Amino acid sequence: MFSKFIRRPVFAIVISVMIVFVGTLAIKKLPISQFPDIAPTTVNIFIAYPGSSADVLVKSTLITLEQAINGVEGMRYIATDATSAGEATLRIIFEPGTDPNDAVVRVKTRVDQVMPLLPELVQREGVVISPVQPSMLMYVNLYSKSESMDEKFLFNYATVKMIPEIQRIKGVARAQILGSRRYAMRVWLNPDRMRAYNISVEEVMKALGEQSIIGRPGRIGQSSGIAAQSLEYVLTYKGRYNKPEEYESIIIRANAEGESIHLKDIAKVELGSEFFDIYSNLDGKPSAAIVLKQNYGSNASDVIANVKAQLEEMRPYFPPGMDYKISYDVSQFLDASIEQVIHTLRDAFILVALVVFIFLGDWRSTLIPILAVPVSLIGAFFVIQFFGLSINLVTLFALVLAIGIVVDDAIVVVEAVHAKMEEEPHLSPYSAVKKVLGEISGAIIAITAVMVAVFLPISFMTGPVGTFYRQFSITMASSIVISALIALTLTPVLCAMLLKNHHGHAKKRNLLTRALDSFNRGFEKLTGRYVRLLTAIVSRRWLTFGVLLAFGVGIFYENQILPSGFIPNEDQSTIYAIIQTPPGSTLEKTNQVSQKLQKVCEKIEGVESVSSLAGYEIMTEGRGSNAGTCLINLKPWSERHHNVKEIMEELEENSKGLGAVVEFFEPPAIPGFGSSGGFSMRLLDKNTDTDYHEFDKINQQFMDNLRKRPELTGLFTFFAANYPQYELEIDNNLAMQKGVSIGKAMDNLNILIGSTYEQGFIKFNQFFKVYVQSDPEFRRLPSDLLKLYVKNEAGEMVPYSSFMKLKKSQGPNEITRFNMYNSSAIQGLPAKGYTTADAIQAIQEVAATSLPKGYDIAWEGLSYDESTRGNESIYVFAIVLAFVYFVLAAQYESFIIPLAVVFSLPVGVFGSFLLLQLMGLENNIYAQIGLIMLVGLLGKNAVLIVEFAVLKRQQGASIFDAAIEGAKVRFRPILMTSFAFIAGLIPLIIATGAGAIGNRTIGASAMGGMLFGTIFGVIIVPGLYYIFGHLADGRKLIRGEEETTLTEDYVHANDHFVQPLETETHVQ
């Protein structure tokens, strides 16, 4: 069949050109991302209830929404967070692969059912539902180079001029400025003046609602259809006020004598900010912190590139002294890691070419298999696009590993052609190729079938791990199939065109030829010693099984001591510092701590910039005056001498004594999978009613027990029930006696203390709110509350002190819930020398032994998937071995012979585990990908020996001689292809910088296995064939069965089929 291409060289060349062409087109259209899209779909619900505490938010709003949403189709879990800043967030996490739009519709349908049950103010503020990836896409600081601009101006400049432009960029789901410095008309009431004038808050709100209005008078002269009109006039009214002096002129009360009380008589009015709940700065300069999140399915690289282009377009229009800095963006690590892999591709290609040249000995023979590399790799991109995959680290790793594999088939062809010309010195390359194709086509098809059999089953796996396996396997299998096609079409043509038969002729003597001759003589001596070794040990069955048993014991031992993991945290040049000052600390106190931490960071080598937020913590995106976050941006990998772990250790040491708890975390290993690296969990209170003080006690005991475990470090939780509070105790009898209703008294406090807004105004083509609240000087101390007044039914001003007392207490400032249970969100890191798998196991052990009845733990983020994984690697490995076995059974028409291949594989597994341990790496998903690929590679080597041995046995050789001859003939090709593959792994093993852990892990897993599997495999496989060949000898399922393998039958049958065409061609 394949000899047909030798007679049609243009056809063979066109096939390869077309493969490259469609692959190149695919590259230009493929999306680029850091990892495959494995993050679960998340729907966020944002709720505002100004003036409410965390407990009020939970009881009035969150419980109602949770009950309605719980159990929505496809939901994994629901997590909520409420703060005493009057804001709450619900996150509904769906299974990976759930369509975000479908998820939003499901959630919105359930929310709409209970909207009438929510407080009126919550409904007016709005319940915002959106599908947003939980992790940041970008973090941009708009800052003032001098102190000429304050945070309010920067915030509102970004609000008016920048956010609308950024929000329109395709792929941006949310562009948010952290904090609430948005312009607002602040009406600061003076309670003393109000009491003097006997004016209530209700009267103020009524006056605002009646006088700052939108009018729509209509038109004059509008046609009536009866009489003609000469002109028509549109009537206008100025509408809502938008200047402080206009609000100050609002009349609160007037009488017939012309006397009036204006708003300015009882209040100050200014254009201020909605709230003052977050301080933001960059390297000590005031800033507005802009956080961007992306839509599901969007291309992160494209979105970031478009945002950067838009920012550059806006920069020339900034006021003097204003600038921006991108403190964090996903593409920084993405671009650097992909660039690192591309450099690895280049280096691996050069090293593979060098190894091939050393073995083949001339540039013509080297060029032929090397040409298979670009064709196979570029062609694989078409298959990647066809299956809807992306260019990411997993698919690029597959291509790096494929470099050393795709040359194999072409090398087998070139080696066979040279061997045939060496046997017949006067044979032309064309004739040699024709004779060789019939002999080696079966081996190439068998090798390809084995390799595809390795990757085919794992491509059907589901879940996050399955997505990794699927993308890797499809990329690998496609490049291998294309390389086999090239080896059977283009390679024979190139051999016939480029090779020359110099065998039997004297070579020109030079330094290079002398070096190559020395190598070949040395290799011939090695081959001789190898054959003598095999002759001595092949027939010793006990030795073969003894070696296998030793490696089996070694695998068991290594598996016990080798740390396991899921997806490693890479050095992303970014560190999150989470600050927690003592409960009750003011925002100014937290800001002072964050500024001190900034100065500490500036002294650390490798730190480029620090952006701080006081009043906001990035883990749960919650707010509180005692919470803070610093985003520490490191210098590029090439400009610093320490990795992120070492810098974190130095920061931890130097940040002690700041008067606050400070913990350092890395960004999440996979964007969209949680808010930080390490592990994320919840301590759940499953009791009917939560006693927050008792829960706080249990939480602290649990944290103390966790801190005793050596596997854990950086443990952190924001839950605390000791935040200073005052409980209002109202005497209902006294209040009723004085004509004050409880509802009216609370509504009055809601406005004076908590603030409210009833309307808004238009300025700078934006809608802003009007807030009414008592002046800060009247609400500094708890005792100020008792000095306030409320108007009773008789129109008299009644002091709160006459019917209300304050009781000092403590409670939570922030309440987090998980699956409808009150919870404590706990973050942490595995200690040095341990993995996240070790940390998860340690936490589960502590929970099982220390938590009282009614309390439990739950996992979230990446930890959720890691904790539910089980021992998938064994399951996958077993499936892969089964597929390889059955493919080989069909190939050899025997259920016994394939065991010679299958039993040779454990040697490589031991080598893989050993090198991972020696390099201090973990058995994570990258290592397991390397192991799966190893099965195919080592299986291929074994197939080369067994295939030839089976052929010799069919030709009449004894099993012993067939085993020796098969090993001898395939010894050089096996070592050449194996060392070519190992050479391609060297750049991965020595990788540094972005993505180094993943590079080194997959490189170590593959290299260790390939070294051991090759060195010991060429010794063990002949012995295994000798054992299983004897067992299979003479055993047939059907009497009179042919002994020729299926592949050889297929190849020879097709060769006979095309023979008449060949004859006809010669006649013509």
Reported as a single tens digit per residue, the pLDDT across 841-878 is: 899 999 999 999 989 999 988 888 877 766 666 677 77
pLDDT score for 503 = 58
Rg of the chain over all Cα atoms, to the nearest angstrom: 37
Q: Do domains 540-568+872-1034 and 574-723+813-835+848-862 have the same CATH topology?
A: no
Task: Identify whether the C-beta of residue 445 lies closer than 8 Å to the C-beta of residue 890.
Answer: no
Region class of 221: left (phi > 0), else alpha (psi between -120 and 50), else beta: left
What per-residue confidence (pLDDT) applies to 505? Answer: 58
List the one residue out of 545, 645, 570 whose CA is nearest residue 900.
545
With b meaning 16 or more CB within 10 Å and e meaning fewer, what string describes 548-566?
A: beebeebbeebeeebbbbb
Taking CA atoms, 760 is separated from 156, 180, 241, 747, 752, in Å, by 16, 16, 9, 20, 18
CA distance between the termini of the chain: 20
Question: What confidence tier does 506 reach under pLDDT thresholds 50, 70, 90?
Answer: low
> What is the model's pLDDT at position 68?
93
The pLDDT-based confidence of 114 (bands split at 50, 70, 90) is very high
Return the minimum-mean-pLDDT range out of 72-86, 544-558, 592-606, 923-937.
923-937
Q: What mean pLDDT do residues 677-695 have? A: 87
Sign of CA dihedral 908, 914, 920, 922: positive
In the predicted model, is pLDDT for residue 110 greater than 80?
A: yes
Q: Taking residues 617-626, report their average pLDDT.
A: 74
CB within 8 Å of 662: residues ≥ 6 apart: 577, 578, 579, 580, 593, 597, 652, 655
Would you say 630 and 597 are in contact if contact means Cβ atoms under 8 Å apart?
Answer: yes
Please compute, for residue 226, the number of CA atoms within 13 A of its CA located in the half-sphere on the CB side.
Answer: 2
Q: Which helix (H) or strand (E) holds 82?
A: strand 75-83
Please determine, for residue 162, whether its predicted confidence score (pLDDT) is greater than 70.
Answer: yes
- Mapped to the 3 state alphabet, what secondary structure does 956-1024 carry? CCCHHHHHHHHHHHHHHHHHHHHHHHHHHHHHHHCCCCCCHHHHHHHHHHHHHHHHHHHHHHHHHHHHH
Whether the per-residue pLDDT at 1036 is higher than 70: the answer is no
Residue 471 has pLDDT above 90, yes or no: no
- Does the pLDDT of residue 1049 top 50, yes or no? no
Instruction: Flag whether pLDDT at 507 surpasses 70.
Output: no
Contact, 309 vs 171, CB < 8 A? no
The pLDDT tens digits of the residues spanning 513-567 come to: 777 677 778 878 888 888 888 888 878 888 888 888 888 888 888 878 887 777 7
Rounded to whole angstroms, the Cα distance separating 369 from 520 reads 20
Q: How confident is the model at residue 120 (pLDDT cuts 50, 70, 90)?
A: confident
Amino acid symbol at 408: D
Residue with tokens 């031992």: 557
| Rounded Cα distance, 789 and 752, in Å | 10
Q: Supply the mean pLDDT for the chain.
A: 82
Among the listed ranges 194-203, 354-363, 546-555, 1006-1015, which one has the minimum average pLDDT value? 354-363
Least reliable range by pLDDT among 474-483, 537-546, 696-705, 813-822 = 537-546
Tens of pLDDT, residues 1011-1024: 888 888 888 888 88
Could you give the count of Cα atoms lying within 13 Å of 747 in the half-sphere of its Cβ? 15
pTM: 0.78
The alpha carbon of 97 is separated from its chain's Cα centroid by a whole number of angstroms, namely 14
- What secondary structure does DSSP assign to 681-734, as a single string? EEEEE-SSS--HHHHHHHHHHHHHHHHT-TTEEEEEE---S-EEEEEEEE-HHH
Report the C-alpha gap between 1012 and 978 in whole angstroms.
11
Whether residue 103 contacts residue 41, with contact meaning beta carbons closer than 8 Å, is answered with yes
pLDDT at 498: 79
| Amino acid sitting at position 613 | L
Is the pLDDT at 652 greater than 70? The verdict is: yes
Integer Cα distance of 864 and 686 in angstroms: 19
Q: What is the pLDDT of residues 204-261, one digit of tens each?
A: 999 988 888 888 888 887 776 666 667 888 888 887 888 899 899 999 988 888 889 9
187-221+231-273+739-809 is classed in which CATH architecture? 2-Layer Sandwich (3.30)
Taking domain 574-723+813-835+848-862, whether its CATH number is 3.30.70.1440 is answered by yes
In angstroms, the CA 72 to CA 771 distance is 37
Helix axes 201-211, 742-749, angle to 10 degrees: 70
Amino acid at residue number 203: E
- 804-811 vs 797-799, strand pairing mode: unpaired
pLDDT in the model for residue 97? 79
Extents of the domains making up the chain: 187-221+231-273+739-809, 540-568+872-1034, 574-723+813-835+848-862
| CATH number 1.10.3720.10 given to 540-568+872-1034 | no
DSSP 8-class letter at 51: T
* Bridge partners, 140 (sequence order): 290, 326
pLDDT surpassing 90 at residue 268: yes
- Using CA atoms, how far residue 294 sits from 389, 620, 1043, in Å, is 19, 18, 61
- pLDDT grade for 1040, boundaries at 50, 70 and 90: low
Of 102-111, 307-316, 630-639, 947-956, the poorest mean pLDDT is in 947-956
- The residue among 553, 574, 569, 701 whose CA lies nearest residue 637 is 574
pLDDT in tens, 918-940: 888 888 888 888 888 787 778 77
Q: Mean of the pLDDT values across residues 64-92? A: 90
Q: What's the CA gap between 385 and 753, in Å, rounded?
A: 59
pLDDT, position 2: 59
More confident residue, 188 or 359: 188
Q: Are 311 and 324 in contact (CB under 8 A)?
A: yes
Q: Which amino acid is at 197?
A: Y
**853 contact partners, CB below 8 Å, separation of at least 6:** none
**pLDDT 10s digits, 814-829:** 889 999 999 998 888 8
Chain centre to alpha carbon of residue 161: 32
Instruction: Reply yes or no on whether the pLDDT at 1060 is more than 50.
Output: no
SS3 604: coil
Average pLDDT over residues 60-77: 92
Average pLDDT, stretch 745-754?
A: 87
Mean pLDDT of 737-763: 85
Half-sphere exposure of 723 (CA within 13 A, CB side): 23
* Ramachandran angles phi, psi of 48, nearest 5°: -125, 130
- H helices within 361-462, ranges in order? 363-386, 393-423, 429-455
